[in-house]
Amino acid sequence: MDSEALGKYSALHPKPAGLSLQYGTAGFRSKAEQLDHVVFRMGLLAALRSKALAATIGIMVTASHNPEEDNGVKLVDPLGEMLHPSWEEYATQLANAEEQELQKVVTEICQKAAVDLHKDASVFIGRDTRPSSKKLSQSVIDGIQVLGGQYHDYGLVTTPQLHFMVCCQNTQGQYGKATLEGYYEKLSKAFMELIKQSHCSGECQRHLKIDCANGIGALKLSEMKPYFPQEVLLHIYNDGTKEKLNHLCGADFVKVHQKPPGGLDMKPNERCCSFDGDADRIVYYYKDTAGHFHLIDGDKIATLISIFLKELLAKVKQNFKMAVVQTAYANGNSTRYLQETLKVPVHCVKTGVKHLHHKAQEFDVGVYFEANGHGTVLFSKAAETKIRQLVKEEKDNEKREAAKMLENMIDLINQTVGDAVSDMLVIEAILALKGLTVQQWDALYADLPNRLLKVQVADRRVIDTTDAERRALTPPGLQEKIDALVKKYKLSRAFVRPSGTEDVVRIYAEADTQENADALAHEVSLAVFHLAGGKGAPPQP
């Protein structure tokens, strides 16, 4: 390691005094002006990780659905998955090291993780459309180069596209070509193969209005348009030419406020969807003839995909194990529908994509979505190999056709991470093949009314949970209080969990009516305030 170069470059990316950040599920996120030293050091870390694994690592500059003035950075592991938890700790240590300790921390990481600094390093870089992203990705390059690493800067890409390309690179092209064209070709080919099978009567045009959150999704969808057949008409709104990123639009805004985004004019019964700022989440919605807004969130997306896959799996008659993975935030009626009507096993895990992804890997077909619209489907190696073999060798027509559809689904789904573009195409293909309208999809089950609240506390660590965050272990007496409150309402449940990023406690409640869900959420928030050290004034109803 050239300590002189490290010192020189580090001085160009100084750490603000007293700033301390934590690498979480979404990597680092903060105000953009506080991040220069962090992204430089993540360039260093990406080079170290690459040397340790002898593989290409990805680094994405984005803050997803956060306001435009924020930014962030996260690393992507070789198969397009999130950074390994043991290295999250190194990331935090490196980001928070004072200037004079930087070299020592790098040396310690090399010792702990058995990194040979003489090995080659290769890093793929991507960024979103924030004004601060270009300069920050230049700082990433400085970090990679100090340690003698090679890099490829893809410039403006969606987060899932970077994950995809890292996976392609490290599978020697088995997963696809590590270029944007490779991504567009793989997805569009699988999509066209699927919708060829749909028997539409007369009007074959498929219109969809897409709110792109004034982010990267708009640019990349426009690039992809030439790859689609004429009958697929994508109408892009909030394309970033007029308004600010994520301002009053995007998947997070629509899900949280339960209302349509600005900048998109909805007519009754039109299919609409929203991406988030870096295009790794999607939610659908429509207005009925009475003007009521209907949100179709991640739970309903998982349900639609599960129905379709279950039918195909039944036709190929292999003993594949399929399951749906949810978090405690999944609507109770979605869980009921999946288990009781569809007869699909459902598993609940802690909040956070890495927990869902990890659990989904245990099955031949693992469907996972968070209610916020982030999710995908994972196919085991064995299942994928068997399906591709059936396509080539199966004599029985029905079995072979079903296997062919499954093969196209495998190619259309971005298995590395939730991907708004890929998920949108999966949904559009299923609706076309099943001849479903957005209303019929929505009517599969009615969501139980629910309410999300948060309470500020002095220290979020006073709350400890168990049973996939559905029950509170501490502080004493809180869970008993919640149990008593839940008993007052029909079809009700409630849970509390500490935020991963700030000193707030998040509260979720559902019940038979909106009024009851609101009342239960409020009563639980008061219990949290009094038993868990609430700050400021007690919550008001």
User: Is 388 labeled as ligand-binding?
Assistant: no
Q: What are 393-397's contacts with CB under 8 Å, separation 24+?
A: none
Pick the catalytic residue from 50, 64, 188, 334: 64
Q: Where are the alpha helices (DSSP H) in 347-495?
A: 353-360, 381-393, 397-412, 420-434, 438-442, 478-486
Give the whole-angstrom CA distance, residue 332 versus residue 299: 10
User: Is 499 labeled as ligand-binding?
Assistant: yes
Quick check: 26 and 64 in contact, CB under 8 A? yes
Give the rounded distance of the alpha carbon of 58 from its chain centre.
Answer: 16
Give the whole-angstrom CA distance, residue 413 versus residue 376: 7
User: Is 260 labeled as ligand-binding?
Assistant: no
Strand 56-61 to 493-498 pairing: unpaired
Q: What are 226-232's contacts with CB under 8 Å, separation 24+?
A: 227/184, 227/185, 227/187, 227/188, 228/188, 228/191, 228/192, 229/192, 229/195, 231/204, 231/205, 231/206, 232/195, 232/206, 232/208, 232/428
Give the whole-angstrom CA distance, residue 496 versus residue 473: 11
- Terminus-to-terminus CA distance in the chain, angstroms? 59
User: Is 86 labeled as ligand-binding?
Assistant: no
| Closest among 376, 360, 298 to 330, alpha carbons compared | 298
Name the CA radius of gyration of the chain, rounded.
Answer: 24
User: Is 280 labeled as ligand-binding?
Assistant: yes
User: Is 288 labeled as ligand-binding?
Assistant: no
User: Is 370 labeled as ligand-binding?
Assistant: yes
What order do you get walking across the sheet with 293-296 strand by strand?
Answer: 232-237, 206-211, 272-275, 282-287, 293-296
User: Is 423 labeled as ligand-binding?
Assistant: no
User: Is 278 labeled as ligand-binding?
Assistant: yes
Residues in CB range of 97: below 8 A, 6 or more apart: 15, 41, 104, 105
Instruction: Assess whether 64 carries a catalytic annotation.
Output: yes
User: Is 203 labeled as ligand-binding?
Assistant: no
Secondary structure of residue 124 in the 3-state scheme? strand
User: Is 276 labeled as ligand-binding?
Assistant: yes
Quick check: 291 and 266 in contact, CB under 8 A? no
User: Is 536 labeled as ligand-binding?
Assistant: no
The secondary structure element, H or E, covering residue 510 is strand 504-510
Residues in CB range of 390: below 8 A, 6 or more apart: 316, 318, 399, 400, 403
User: Is 64 labeled as ligand-binding?
Assistant: yes
Q: Which token pair is 317?
A: 């008659």
Quick check: 478 and 532 in contact, CB under 8 A? yes
Q: Where are the alpha helices (DSSP H) in 196-279?
A: 216-224, 251-257
For the annotated binding site for substrate, the residues are 370-372, 497-501, 506
Q: Would you name the residues annotated as active-site residues?
A: 64
For the annotated binding site for Mg(2+), the residues are 64, 276, 278, 280
For the annotated binding site, the residues are 64, 276, 278, 280, 370-372, 497-501, 506
